[in-house]
């Protein structure tokens, strides 16, 4: 039997996207010994490195701006459900993070000494910074990786999947993980555990995510005794690429095109249709994501969709020179895919993109489980029912920095025996799956969520999805816990992923079924109106192994 690999650190951080890397930097600079782990490569997995567009912060370089205006816009988009202290923290601290990144040479697009800021839907000022051309996320990740390599006190461990937050005597005492390339179980004891595992959009068949965004952190948090909030609010990105076939490019790349150049969203009859849903665009880009998703679905439903079941997006009225001035080499990459935007319309349709819900934390990023913190997209509540564009990277950087600061100040009597015992319990056993195919179940679950728990929901579809999720959960549980049979055991990893995906999917579906109204990113066909009585958050937790839901008033500023 391979022995458990043991490590200790002051702070263990799970996930090395923008939030995890920022947390590691801040914690290490405050003197903590930090272990930063990721199931992928450090700083190259997850959403941060994929993001191509903008980061919102009221730095006031393009026009007079104030973080309070950013905060007001964030609350307006959140439709009354934002955790106000978290939203305030996001907007108030974003400028400091963005300017710090500038000092670290991230390369924000700028003219002279002024950082360029673009207007984006839902923002009341030109507030969104970016790195040209479509390089924002890669540049942010690169910069944080470079800072990490210059910072003493951070040990980086790639290829390591966190399986469990180990809790002893009511406190988080470490992480039990699995090292993919050696096949060994790993026990990491720490004073503070920060989960920065990002979002959950891999749960959906059509998503903008990478394969390591199946919502592990949500499931880990629930099993550790933490609460989740607003799990029903999955943001769908309205203009994900649908057709023609496009290789090696981001499916949500059409948004930056629309920021810079506008572009016409057309139905099968060639009409700009958003006016029918309350927003006149006239070639500009004004519609928020939830409304655009709704508008495209409704056009398709009315038989006015594009051939593959979406909408047309046209830049045909924009000259080649304007396209090149805005997007330089990206135009050549499109040409390699046979796409000439001066002659070709493309087809777009909604795609799961971001999660507003997540772990319940306070402004110091502490959950209700002592020693367990969260940061980044995994945190719930700041965006309420709908996130403003550009706020997610700000959230990752701001919450990451805050989590790092809090975690570095924590100390406790360490309990390595409990962490080792959790890891040892996962060793041994045949792991015979018979005919069971976890990869096929993952595909089934993704299709199920896309169809029945997608942007438009009703009670029948949600109840059907819930019944199937429960059946799949029971079937998986009957096989016993997943046991690795060596290095790179793909079936084992699929089983780990599936267990997390099923629990997270159940949390979304239960919350979506309970909220019988439409608000922001949660649209119920059977309850199409927003209901004032639903101006509350829903909290999910595990109670004796079962998911429980509770309604509570929104956390307002004056209650903080
Ligand atoms: C294609 C795309 C484009 C986007 N564009 C923008 C944009 O322009 N502007 C904006 O504001 N937002 C954008 N977003 C959203 C934004 O990028 C994310 O919300 C943000 O980057 C999340 O950062 P994070 O650090 O919380 O998580 P991530 O960057 O997703 O990092 C999470 C990390 O956790 C790791 N991980 C997960 N589970 C485990 C586990 N069990 N064990 C170990 N490691 C684990 C993953 O491998 C990953 O590296 C975009 C998202 C996508 C997908």
- Which residue has the CA at smallest separation from atom 38 of ligand 1? 197
- Model confidence over 494-543: pLDDT tens digits? 999 999 999 999 999 999 999 999 999 999 999 999 999 999 999 999 99
pLDDT confidence tier of residue 560, bands split at 50, 70 and 90: very low
Give residue 17 CA to ligand 1 midpoint distance, Å: 6
Do 373 and 520 belong to one domain?
Answer: no
Is 452 near ligand 1, meaning CB less than 6 Å away?
Answer: no
Is 512 near ligand 1, meaning CB less than 6 Å away?
Answer: no
Give residue 460 CA to ligand 1 midpoint distance, Å: 32
Give residue 49 CA to ligand 1 midpoint distance, Å: 7
In a domain, 547, yes or no: no
Given a cut of 60, whether residue 367 has pLDDT beyond it is yes
Given a cut of 90, whether residue 558 has pLDDT beyond it is no
Do 202 and 307 belong to one domain?
Answer: no
CB-based burial label for 522 (10 Å; 0-12, 13-18, 19+): buried
Is 46 near ligand 1, meaning CB less than 6 Å away?
Answer: yes
Query: H or E stretch including 238?
Result: strand 234-243
- Residue with structure tokens 């305030």? 88
Give residue 76 CA to ligand 1 midpoint distance, Å: 24
- Model confidence over 110-166: pLDDT tens digits? 999 999 999 888 999 999 999 998 899 999 999 999 999 999 999 999 999 999 999
Q: What is the mean pLDDT of the chain?
A: 95
Do 365 and 289 belong to one domain?
Answer: no
Residue 394: closest CA among 67, 121, 79, 110: 67
In a domain, 415, yes or no: yes
Given a cut of 80, whether residue 290 has pLDDT beyond it is no
Give residue 198 CA to ligand 1 midpoint distance, Å: 5
In a domain, 543, yes or no: no
- Model confidence over 422-440: pLDDT tens digits? 999 999 876 678 899 999 9
Q: Report the distance separating Cα 266 and Cα 345, nearest Å.
A: 9
Do 227 and 246 belong to one domain?
Answer: no
Query: Which of residues 334, 351, 368 is at a domain's end?
Result: 351
Is 207 near ligand 1, meaning CB less than 6 Å away?
Answer: no
Given a cut of 60, whether residue 1 has pLDDT beyond it is no
Give residue 192 CA to ligand 1 midpoint distance, Å: 21
Look at residue 346 and give its three-state secondary structure: strand
User: In testing the pocket of ligand 1, which one of 14, 70, 91, 137 has its CB within 8 Å of the most ligand atoms?
Assistant: 137
Is 482 near ligand 1, meaning CB less than 6 Å away?
Answer: no
In a domain, 409, yes or no: yes
Do 25 and 160 belong to one domain?
Answer: yes
For the chain, how many structural domains are there in total? 3
Is 39 near ligand 1, meaning CB less than 6 Å away?
Answer: yes
- Which residue has the CA at smallest separation from atom 15 of ligand 1? 392
Q: Which ligand 1 atom is the nearest neighbour of the CA of 252?
A: 1
User: In testing the pocket of ligand 1, which one of 142, 198, 218, 219 has its CB within 8 Å of the most ligand atoms?
Assistant: 198
Residue by residue, DSSP assigns 268-312 as TTS-B-GGGGT---TTS----HHHHHHHHHHHHHTT---TTSSEE
Phi, psi (rounded to 5 degrees) for 349: -155, 165
Do 109 and 158 belong to one domain?
Answer: yes
Q: Report the distance separating Cα 171 and Cα 415, nearest Å.
A: 10
Q: Report the distance separating Cα 478 and Cα 473, nearest Å.
A: 9
57-64: average pLDDT: 98
In this predicted structure, what is the pLDDT of residue 251?
Answer: 86
Q: Report the distance separating Cα 128 and Cα 456, nearest Å.
A: 29
Give residue 228's domain range: 5-233+356-423
Q: What is the CATH number of the domain that holds 192?
A: 3.50.50.60
Higher model confidence: residue 267 or residue 284?
267
In this predicted structure, what is the pLDDT of residue 107?
Answer: 98
Task: Name the percent of the chain lying above pLDDT 70.
Answer: 99
Q: What is the CATH number of the domain that holds 451?
A: 1.20.58.100
In a domain, 557, yes or no: no
Is 17 near ligand 1, meaning CB less than 6 Å away?
Answer: yes
In a domain, 555, yes or no: no
In a domain, 506, yes or no: yes
CA 196 to chain centre: 10
In this predicted structure, what is the pLDDT of residue 289?
Answer: 77
Do 111 and 99 belong to one domain?
Answer: yes
| Full-model pTM | 0.95
Residue 18: closest CA among 163, 132, 138: 138
Do 374 and 252 belong to one domain?
Answer: no
Do 411 and 437 belong to one domain?
Answer: no
Whole-number CA gyration radius for the chain: 23
Given a cut of 90, whether residue 52 has pLDDT beyond it is no
Yes or no: say if 384 and 80 are a contact pair by the CB < 8 Å rule: yes
Q: Report the distance separating Cα 62 and Cα 144, nearest Å.
A: 25
Give residue 378 CA to ligand 1 midpoint distance, Å: 9
In a domain, 136, yes or no: yes
In this predicted structure, what is the pLDDT of residue 223?
Answer: 98
186-198: average pLDDT: 98
Q: What is the CATH number of the domain that holds 305?
A: 3.90.700.10
In this predicted structure, what is the pLDDT of residue 430?
Answer: 67
> Packing angle between helix 136-149 and helix 18-29, nearest 10 degrees?
30
Do 398 and 292 belong to one domain?
Answer: no
pLDDT confidence tier of residue 247, bands split at 50, 70 and 90: confident
Do 361 and 306 belong to one domain?
Answer: no
Do 441 and 389 belong to one domain?
Answer: no
């Amino acid at each position: 039997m391979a022995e458990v690999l043991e490590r200790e650190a002051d702070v263990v951080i799970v996930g090395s996207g923008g939030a995890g890397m920022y947390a590691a930097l801040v914690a290490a600079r405050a003197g903590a010994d930090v272990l930063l782990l990721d199931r992928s490569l450090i700083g190259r997995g997850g959403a941060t490195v994929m993001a191509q567009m903008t980061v919102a912060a009221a730095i006031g370089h393009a026009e007079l701006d104030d973080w309070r205006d950013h905060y007001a816009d964030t609350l307006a988009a959140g439709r009354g459900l934002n955790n106000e202290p978290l939203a305030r923290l996001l907007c108030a601290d974003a400028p400091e993070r963005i300017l710090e990144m500038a000092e670290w040479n991230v390369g924000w697009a700028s003219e002279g000494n002024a950082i360029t800021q673009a207007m984006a839907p839902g923002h009341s000022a030109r507030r969104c910074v970016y790195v040209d051309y479509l390089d924002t996320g890669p540049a942010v990740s690169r910069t944080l990786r470079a800072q990490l390599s210059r910072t003493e006190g951070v040990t980086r461990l790639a290829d390591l999947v966190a399986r469990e937050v180990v809790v002893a005597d009511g406190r988080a005492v470490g992480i039990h993980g699995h090292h993919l390339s050696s096949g060994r179980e790993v026990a990491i004891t720490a004073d503070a555990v920060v989960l920065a595992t990002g979002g959950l959009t891999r749960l959906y068949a059509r998503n903008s995510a990478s394969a390591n965004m199946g919502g592990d952190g949500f499931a880990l948090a629930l099993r550790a005794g933490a609460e989740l909030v607003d799990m029903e609010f999955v943001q769908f990105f309205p203009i994900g690429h649908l057709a023609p076939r496009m290789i090696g490019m981001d499916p949500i790349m059409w948004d930056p095109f629309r920021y810079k150049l506008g572009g016409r969203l057309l139905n099968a009859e060639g009409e700009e249709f958003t006016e029918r849903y309350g927003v006149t665009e006239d070639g500009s880009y004004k519609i928020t994501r939830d409304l655009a998703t709704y508008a495209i679905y409704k056009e398709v439903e009315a038989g006015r969709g594009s051939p593959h079941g979406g909408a047309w997006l046209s830049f045909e009225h924009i000259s080649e020179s304007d396209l090149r001035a805005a997007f330089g080499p990206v135009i050549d990459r499109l040409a390699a895919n046979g796409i000439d935007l001066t002659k070709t319309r493309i087809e777009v349709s909604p795609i799961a993109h971001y999660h507003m819900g997540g772990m319940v934390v306070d402004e110091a990023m502490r959950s209700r489980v002592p020693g367990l913190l969260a940061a980044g997209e995994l945190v719930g509540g700041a965006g309420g029912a709908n996130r403003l564009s550009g706020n997610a990277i700000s959230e990752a950087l701001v919450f990451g920095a805050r989590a790092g600061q809090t975690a570095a100040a924590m100390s406790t009597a360490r309990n390595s025996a409990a962490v080792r015992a959790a890891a040892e319990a996962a060793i041994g056993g045949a792991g015979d799956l018979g005919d069971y195919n976890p990869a096929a179940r993952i595909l089934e679950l993704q299709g199920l969520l896309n169809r029945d728990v997608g942007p438009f929901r009703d009670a029948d579809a949600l109840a059907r999805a819930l019944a199937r999720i429960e059946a799949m959960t029971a079937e998986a549980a009957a096989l016993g816990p997943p046991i690795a049979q060596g290095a790179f055991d793909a079936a084992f990893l699929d089983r780990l992923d599936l267990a997390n995906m099923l629990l997270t999917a159940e949390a979304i579906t239960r919350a979506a079924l309970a909220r019988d109204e439409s608000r922001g990113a949660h649209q119920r066909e059977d309850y199409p109106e927003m209901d004032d009585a639903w101006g509350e958050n829903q909290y999910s937790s595990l109670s004796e192994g079962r998911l429980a839901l509770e309604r509570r008033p929104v956390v307002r500023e004056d209650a903080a």
